[in-house]
Amino acid sequence: MDKEIYKILVLHGPNLNMLGSRDPKFYGRLTLDKLNKILRQKAKELNVSLKIHQFNSEEKIIKTLHRQRKICDGVVINPAAFTHYSYAIRDAIDLIKIPVVEVHLSNIYEREDFRKISVTKDVCIHQIYGKKENSYLEGLEYIVNYLNK
């Protein structure tokens, strides 16, 4: 097998460790472990390496973005609830100067009013939502295609 061409960071935000227990209408039935397994398989197909983390802490998400900015070529992030109000994560995404794709399992624009706001999307190169685990898979494909340009 050829050397992996890109290193991609996947960051899952708060409460995503509870996948499989959350409302399947919005989040599907996959657990986080199963989602990560699917992501690793897709990464193999795309010939990229993944570093995957899930944090319930805003601070840990920010520190990981800062630390990985010189190691990773791109980021796929689901900021989860932080999407709607974390200017700190928005600023961290903006300052790392590597491409970031924002993903969401549910369609945030067809949910409660507060979920329709994304303070992070404008500093990301793309946003994908409402496709459950396929949001992540498309996000991974998108970032690889972006890097290949």
Structure confidence by residue, pLDDT tens digits, 59-91 = 999 999 999 999 999 999 999 999 999 999 999
> Is 106 contained in some domain?
yes
Please give the structure tokens belonging to residue 73: 């070529």
CATH code of 22's domain: 3.40.50.9100
Residue 1 included in any domain: no
Segments forming the whole domain that contains residue 18: 6-148
Return the bridge partners of 52, or none.
10
Confidence check: pLDDT of 2 > 80: no
- For 104-130, the pLDDT digits (tens) are 999 999 999 999 999 999 999 999 999
Total number of domains constituting the chain:
1
pTM of the model: 0.94
- Residue 129: inside a domain, yes or no? yes
Which is catalytic among the residues 6, 12, 27, 53?
27
- Residue 53 designated active-site: no
- Is 27 a catalytic site residue? yes
Q: What is the pLDDT of residue 43?
A: 97
Domain membership of residue 76 (yes or no) is: yes
Q: Give the closest residue to 141 by CA, choosing from 94, 98, 103.
A: 103
Mean pLDDT of the chain: 95
Exactly one of 84, 85, 87, 104 is catalytic; which is it? 104
Examine residue 93 and state whether it is found in any structural domain, yes or no. yes
